[in-house]
Structure 1
Amino acid sequence: MSYQCPLCQLPLERHPRQWTCGKHSFDCAKEGYVNLLPVQFKRSKQPGDSAEMMQARRSFLEAGHYQPLRDAVALHVDAIVADDAAALLDIGCGEGYYTAELAQRLTSHRTMTIYGLDVSKAAIQRAARRYENVEFCVASSQRLPFRDASLDAVVKIYAPCNDAELQRTIKVGGWVVTVSPGPRHLYQLKAEVYDEVLLHPSKDETLVGFQLMEQQTLAYPMQLSGNEAVALLQMTPFAWRATPDVSERLRAAAAFSCETDFIIRLHQRVDSGAVA
């Protein structure tokens, strides 16, 4: 296994009911995950999204509106990851919507471990109960609890992460696949919230220690019911700026059309002496 202790960075070894490095131990939860987020690394009492945001995201994703993105990411990763790859990490995995598809596709013809990491204990609990073929952990994306050069690939969908940690944990020749919003992502939803709608800024994405090998755009329209539009709003940061009448207006709508605009980037880990 690829875990390392978040406190002393020694390798963690798995025992029947806990992970230990000899100095520190971390209990395995009954759902199967391990909590590798020491209390001193928490920025709040309950890190991660609120229960309302998680419920909204679950409802929206299970309706299938982001399935084209899930399929595209899994297809890209399957195409670039080596046949002898041993480990992939999904950072900010939430309740495992994308992680599960990655696990199903990649392990169908490889012997490898799929990890899912999130700072939200509630999200990881639900993910671990549902997807037994993934190793889930509660941890910080700023201090990845993985050994140096132990990962063949990392998937990062909207999730923040410390670039130095990616460089440390991913093998030379390995990959980071990122997803970020394109200029017109959720344009119509933003128009319901803001008086002046600004396009997402278009900027290059540079990861130290990696070479951008490919960039693609995935854009398609979504036809949502009123309740689905409300769920979409509640799972985005726009919800913090939306007045109550925005939700009421969306919920009352017979249908709501909204654009998606995703940018998928494939970055490959290069030797330390190479240009990033």
Structure 2
Amino acid sequence: MKKSERQRQFVQATIDLFRCPTCQAPMKAVVGNSVICQNGHQIDFNRHGYLHFLNGAADTEYGREMFLARRQLLTAGLFKPIVAAVARHLPAQSLRILDVGTGEGTPLKQLADLRTSYQDTMIGFDISKSGVTLATQLGLDAFFCVADLRQLPFNNGKFDAVVELFSPSDYREFNRVLTVGGQLIKVVPNAGYLGELRQLLYGGNQAKSHYDNQRVVALFKKHYPDCQVEPVKYQFSVPAGLQQALVEMTPLHWGKGARQLTAADLSQLTTVTVDVSLLLAKKMK
């Protein structure tokens, strides 16, 4: 079966999850190569098999080369302990899981690999077409789409878990699509995240030499006063030849004042610190 046909079948089987980005009415059916809402609005599957739910062009600086570099590092295991920590906080039952800012999809694939005992329904979305196009190539039994986190193309109360790694948030939308008792797991970088790379790029005396996540954490706690914060910190050995990919996979090297790293600089990146926090909350009502 072709990838595009598998994707159409996935949407048809889970049509109750989706709503129209134009009128917010529930999607009704897959007809031919299109999904149609109750008011007759139509969105076509593209040749890669995914749906583009944005009302207009995507606004992102994240391109294909950045996502390819990210896939190299993530496939090598850069985020595997983070994904394992996320998996530990998910219930031991089949879930409907929404991956926010899925990028090229590797973390969702790694999460699925840890949950093969369950019949999860997984959907990943991103604002970047380049990322979503790459995600559809993973061979994962999931659905990927282009969408805006501030106007999610999903019906109310349909997901058991919303997972978000290093992406912006819209807590009102997350709460809208979560079931009562559903889980939100947000991963944010801590001060030491990729500190070795940050120091090479900016030294010790620039604004971007250090990172402070206090505002992000405080906002999360404002929305979820009973949340938990779980730190995850470890050293990752950078595989030989992937130092440049490590630089290219993050927006750190775009910043004002960033140095152009030499081969000698890159040779210093033998290990990097992964320092993050899991912000854990449940929708209570």
TM-score, normalised via structure 2 length: 0.83
The corresponding residue for 2:244 is 230
| Deviation digits for residues 1-28 of structure 1 (CA, Å, limit 9, x no counterpart) | 2010011001113414211104211112
Q: Structure 1, unaligned stretches of length 5 or more?
A: 272-276
Question: In structure 1, which of residues 162, 170, 179 is the aligned counterpart of residue 187 of structure 2?
Answer: 179
The corresponding residue for 1:215 is 229
Tell me the percent identity. 27
The corresponding residue for 2:111 is 102
Question: In structure 2, which of residues 134, 141, 149 is the aligned counterpart of residue 141 of structure 1?
Answer: 149
- How far apart in 2 are the matches of 1:135 and 1:193? 37
Question: In structure 2, which of residues 53, 56, 59 is the aligned counterpart of residue 36 of structure 1?
Answer: 53
Describe the shift of the 1:269–1:29 C-alpha distance in structure 2 as closer, same or farther (beyond 3 A): same
Deviation at 1:208, TM superposition (A): 6.2
Deviation at 1:165, TM superposition (A): 0.5
The corresponding residue for 1:27 is 44
Describe the shift of the 1:69–1:17 C-alpha distance in structure 2 as closer, same or farther (beyond 3 A): same
TM-score, normalised via structure 1 length: 0.85
Asked whether the 8 Å contact 2:231–2:276 carries over to 1, the reply is yes
Asked whether the 8 Å contact 1:74–1:101 carries over to 2, the reply is no
Asked whether the 8 Å contact 2:175–2:283 carries over to 1, the reply is yes
Q: Which letter does structure 1 place at the counterpart of 2:46? A: A
The corresponding residue for 1:274 is none
Asked whether the 8 Å contact 1:183–1:202 carries over to 2, the reply is no
Query: Is 58-67 or 151-160 further displaced after alignment?
Result: 58-67
Matches within 5 A, 1:40-119: 42=57, 44=59, 47=60, 49-77=62-90, 81=91, 83=93, 85=95, 87-106=96-115, 108-119=116-127
The reply to whether residue 7 of structure 1 matches residue 22 of structure 2 is: yes
| Deviation digits for residues 186-238 of structure 1 (CA, Å, limit 9, x no counterpart) | 11111111132324344534266645443211111122256323212212121
Asked whether the 8 Å contact 1:164–1:208 carries over to 2, the reply is no
Question: In structure 2, which of residues 248, 254, 257 is the aligned counterpart of residue 240 of structure 1?
Answer: 254
Q: Which letter does structure 1 place at the counterpart of 2:86? A: V
Asked whether the 8 Å contact 1:90–1:116 carries over to 2, the reply is yes
Describe the shift of the 1:132–1:48 C-alpha distance in structure 2 as closer, same or farther (beyond 3 A): farther
- How far apart in 2 are the matches of 1:257 and 1:265? 26
Matches within 5 A, 1:134-213: 134-195=142-203, 196=205, 197-203=209-215, 204-205=217-218, 206=220, 210-213=224-227
- How far apart in 1 are the matches of 2:106 and 2:226? 26
Asked whether the 8 Å contact 2:200–2:259 carries over to 1, the reply is no
- How far apart in 1 are the matches of 2:29 and 2:113? 24
Q: Which letter does structure 2 place at the counterpart of 1:83? A: Q
Asked whether the 8 Å contact 2:87–2:114 carries over to 1, the reply is yes
Q: Partner of 1:141: helix, strand, or coil?
A: coil
The corresponding residue for 1:249 is 264
RMSD: 2.2
Q: How many residues align?
A: 260
- How far apart in 1 are the matches of 2:221 and 2:143? 26
Describe the shift of the 1:201–1:17 C-alpha distance in structure 2 as closer, same or farther (beyond 3 A): closer
Q: Which letter does structure 2 place at the counterpart of 1:5? A: C
